[in-house]
């Protein structure tokens, strides 16, 4: 295992990538966990060179969000990157990403305007802007994105299609905490804000999603009734303040009754112990990865 080489200068990274074959890219905000490492391992398996970016992007945080307190630990991240076989780490400065005079925004309409887009105004514009910049700097063949952020994958796929970005998107299934295996909490850098007891209680999100899946498997097709199955579980945890629980089709639309759509998905967002948590699962075991 060799040490990943760290770059802050995009020109130096580009020079190092010359003649390195196919490039797989994993954009992150750091404080890496096994979900991120899984993206890196997928990239390692299908590409000659793996580039990881670590950049806490100020543009995607709202004024009352946790930009200042977002966890950061480059030394620790480099160890995770090393064990996942990353070749190059790109860790640009704010001055590199947003020099004085920077004034362009990439806004992906429609798909950004629901769910997290409503709760976090400007968030997806910030994400799309930084990811397009990173794609232009790294110029990868494939970009690996976690399905944990289902709407984010939809937004970025839309942007990549609409703006003819020459990159293949690979969606990677959500990695959950080990205890209680399939019921576990989706791994997130923000879980570091929670203590062990709070993490255990936060599994109410994934348990609510499972309850919706079970109701669907039992034949329920009415969207309100499906949602109610999840809400009943959520009610058992008084510390969960629900933002949304919804069942959507491949266009992220909620309809009164569930139609056969291989990409039907249950999405949840809630605030617990001062932390905003999101999760999602396929409605049925037959539902696939992001279209
Ligand atoms: P972040 O650092 O939170 O911006 O995440 C960087 C990438 O890792 C995004 O594509 C996320 O969707 C993905 N990711 C975050 N958590 C998980 C997880 N638990 N399982 C799989 N991918 C994840």
| Model pLDDT for residues 35-60, shown as the tens digit of each residue | 999 999 999 999 999 999 999 999 99
Q: Which residues are within 8 A (CB) of 44 and not within 5 positions of it... i.e. 6 or more apart?
A: 24, 50, 84, 85, 86
What confidence category does residue 290 fall into, taking pLDDT thresholds of 50, 70 and 90?
low
Report pLDDT for 178: 75
Q: Could you confirm whether 36 is annotated as catalytic?
A: yes
Q: Does any ligand 1 atom lie closer than 6 A to the CB of residue 189?
A: yes
Q: Report the range of poorest mean pLDDT among 115-124, 142-151, 181-190, 249-258.
A: 181-190
Average pLDDT in the 90-116 region? 98
- Quick one: average pLDDT of 102-119? 98
Structure tokens at 37: 């490492």
Return the closest-CA partner of residue 130 out of 154, 159, 162, 164.
Answer: 159
The pLDDT-based confidence of 82 (bands split at 50, 70, 90) is very high
On the question of pLDDT at 291 being above 80, the answer is no
Supply angle C-alpha 214, 242, 151, rounded to 5.
75
The secondary element (H helix, E strand) that includes residue 243 is strand 240-248
Task: Give me the residues paired with residue 168 across strands.
Answer: 142
147 C-alpha to ligand 1 centroid (Å): 8
Lowest pLDDT segment from 29-43, 77-91, 147-161, 166-180: 166-180
Atom 6 (ligand 1): residue with closest C-alpha? 28
Residue range 168-216, pLDDT digits in tens: 999 999 999 876 544 689 999 999 999 999 999 999 999 999 999 999 9
Find the 219 Cα to ligand 1 centroid distance in Å.
Answer: 32
Tokens of 52: 């990881």
Task: Provide mean pLDDT across the span 55-80.
Answer: 97
Pick from 88, 118, 119: nearest CA to 25: 88
User: Is the minimum distance from the CB of 146 to ligand 1 under 6 angstroms?
Assistant: yes
Mean pLDDT to the nearest integer, 231-259: 97
**Residue 62 in tokens:** 């709202």
**Ligand 1 in reach of 28 Cβ (< 6 A):** yes
Residue 139: burial class (beta carbons within 10 Å; 0-12, 13-18, 19+): middle
Atom of ligand 1 nearest to the CA of 175: 20
Q: How many residues does the chain have?
A: 291
Nearest CA among 188, 189, 186, 132 for reference residue 155: 132
Lowest mean pLDDT among 81-85, 112-116, 150-154, 285-289: 285-289
Position 272 pLDDT exceeds 80: yes
Q: What is the pLDDT of residue 285?
A: 76
Which residues contact residue 34 at a Cβ distance below 8 angstroms, ignoring those fewer than 6 apart?
A: 175, 187
How sure is the predictor about 134, in pLDDT bands with cuts at 50, 70 and 90? very high
| Probe target for ligand 1 pocket from 29, 30, 36, 278, with the most ligand atoms within 8 Å of CB | 36
CB of 36 shorter than 6 A to ligand 1: yes
Q: Is 252 helix (H, G, I), strand (E, B) or coil?
A: coil
Give Cα 175 distance to the centre of its chain. Answer: 11
- Angstrom distance (rounded) from CA 77 to CA 263: 33
Q: What's the pTM value of the predicted model, to 2 decimals?
A: 0.96
Q: What is the DSSP letter of 47?
A: -
Report CA(176)–ligand 1 centroid distance (Å).
Answer: 11
């Amino acid at each position: 295992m060799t040490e990943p080489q760290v770059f802050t200068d995009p020109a130096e990274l580009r020079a190092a990538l010359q003649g390195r074959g196919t490039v797989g890219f994993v954009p992150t905000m750091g404080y890496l966990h096994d979900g991120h490492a899984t993206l890196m391992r997928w990239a390692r398996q299908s590409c000659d060179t793996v580039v990881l970016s670590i950049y806490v992007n100020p543009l995607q945080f709202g004024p009352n969000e946790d930009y200042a307190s977002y966890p950061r630990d480059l030394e620790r991240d480099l160890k995770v990157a090393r064990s996942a076989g990353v070749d190059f780490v790109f860790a640009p400065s704010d001055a590199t990403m947003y020099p004085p005079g920077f004034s362009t925004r990439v806004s992906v309409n429609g798909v950004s305007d629901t769910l997290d887009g409503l709760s976090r105004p400007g968030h997806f514009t910030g994400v799309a802007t930084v990811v397009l910049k990173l794609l232009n700097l790294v110029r990868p063949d494939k970009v690996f994105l976690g399905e944990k952020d289902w709407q984010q994958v939809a937004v970025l796929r839309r942007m990549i299609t609409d703006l003819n970005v020459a990159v293949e998107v690979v969606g990677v299934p959500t990695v959950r905490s080990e205890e209680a295996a399939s019921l576990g909490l989706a791994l997130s850098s923000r879980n570091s804000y929670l203590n062990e007891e709070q993490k255990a209680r936060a599994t109410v999100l994934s348990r609510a999603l499972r309850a919706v899946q079970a109701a669907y498997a039992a034949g329920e097709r009415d969207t309100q009734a499906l949602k109610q199955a999840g809400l009943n579980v959520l009610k058992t945890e008084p510390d969960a303040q629900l933002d949304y629980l919804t069942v959507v089709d491949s266009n992220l639309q909620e309809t009164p009754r569930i139609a056969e759509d291989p990409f039907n998905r249950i999405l949840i967002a809630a605030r617990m112990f001062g932390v905003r948590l999101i999760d999602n699962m396929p409605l049925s075991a037959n539902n696939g990865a992001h279209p």
